[in-house]
Structure 1
Amino acid sequence: MKHMVGAWMQYALSRRQLFASCAALFGTLALSACAPEQQNKGVGPLPDPELQVAPTDSADGVNVDLTHLNAMMIFSQIGYMNQNRDQFIGKTIKIKGNFDSYDNNGRRFYGVLITDTTGCCTTGLEFSSAEEKAYPADYPEIGNEMTVTGVFDTYTEEDITYIYLRDASFEASK
């Protein structure tokens, strides 16, 4: 029994770190693959580093809208946001992906996940709702598509800084 609890805690911790570490890892890999000194080995034009989505002001209050980007660009953008946190803290972010949730020692975590175009890797953003909600009644089913809008922020636990969307609202895709 003790071994099973330890394994679940390790599993939950690894899923929780997925929201932060997978984004940072993929963003680093994507950015290093696009370095100017790298040769283009016939895979098409290299992405322009200036194409990162910078925070802007809009009529709907969203500063960074990721809903119009494909999965590969969202991977890159989340990595960029993780590496340049100060540029995004306090900005309103909008993202579309699949809902996920898990419990870690009595604390429930919620996230919106994006799978890359090959289906091998997943990244995403953790979020906390602006309103008191009951799980699972007030949330989509795990895996269902949703759009989340929230304020980019960070928190630190055990010397690890995580990015997330606070005061978030969400709606399930129809």
Structure 2
Amino acid sequence: MKIRIWFSLFSLVMALALIGCSKDENTKKTDEEQTQGAVEKPNENREKQQKKSVNDDGDNNVDLDLTALSSTMLYSEVYNIVMSPNDYIGKTLKMKGLFRTYASLESDTTYFAVVIPDATACCEQGFEFIWDGEHTYPEDYPSEDSEIEITGRLDTYEEDGYEYFYVVADDLVILN
């Protein structure tokens, strides 16, 4: 008898959970509208991916604007880029995060990165970048942990037998 009661109660709870998790058409439409245009799949038609430039001259197009995403979507897309960088190589990305530097003791090289925290700020994921043009560190660069926005193309290089990906930043804006 107790098994029937527990089974009935369990079935009722599961039914309520399924009903509570369903979405109506208006909610689905809102979700689609929120992400439409912000995230373009890497393999879609190039013309659909082109967006208005962040530069005043209008020559550069952004394929993936990470600044337009909610914190959850942002971290998910960053994770996708890190796990499958080859799908994004050659794409122009726009992102904002914290400016960080990393000094290599072995090669006496300073690496620059934009670090993007997740929604709870417990985890971070960074992208190495090289600022295109004539810029000297530290004079032309922001201070450590400044919020920045970069726009550039994802590319790769090989160092010590390992392949790394980075952003060739055409534009760097200090936000604070």
Aligned in 2, Cα 1:79/1:102: closer, same or farther, shift over 3 Å?
same
Contact kept, 8 Å, 2:150 with 2:169, in 1: the verdict is no
**1:128-158, Cα deviation, whole Å (9 max, x unpaired):** 0111211111111111111001111122333
Q: Which amino acid aligns with 2:160?
A: E
Q: Say whether residues 1:90 and 2:83 are aligned partners.
A: no
The answer for unaligned runs of 5 or more in structure 1 is: 1-39
- Specify the alignment match of 1:107 in structure 2: 109
- Specify the alignment match of 1:62 in structure 2: 62
Aligned to 1:119, what secondary structure does the other structure show? coil
Of the structure 1 ranges 104-113 and 63-72, higher mean CA displacement relative to structure 2 is found in 63-72
Distance in structure 1 (CA, Å) of the matches to 2:119 and 2:74: 11
Q: State the structure with more CA Rg.
A: 2
- Specify the alignment match of 2:75 in structure 1: 75
- Specify the alignment match of 1:14 in structure 2: none
The answer for unaligned runs of 5 or more in structure 2 is: 1-16, 23-31, 43-48, 54-60
Q: Which amino acid aligns with 2:50?
A: D
TM superposition score normalised by structure 1: 0.65
Aligned to 2:67, what secondary structure does the other structure show? coil
Aligned to 1:78, what secondary structure does the other structure show? helix
TM superposition score normalised by structure 2: 0.64
- Specify the alignment match of 1:154 in structure 2: 156
Distance in structure 1 (CA, Å) of the matches to 2:73 and 2:164: 20
Q: Which amino acid aligns with 1:120?
A: C
State which of 127, 133, 136 in structure 2 corresponds to 1:134: 136
Distance in structure 2 (CA, Å) of the matches to 1:166 and 1:147: 13
Give the alignment's Cα RMSD to 1 decimal: 2.5
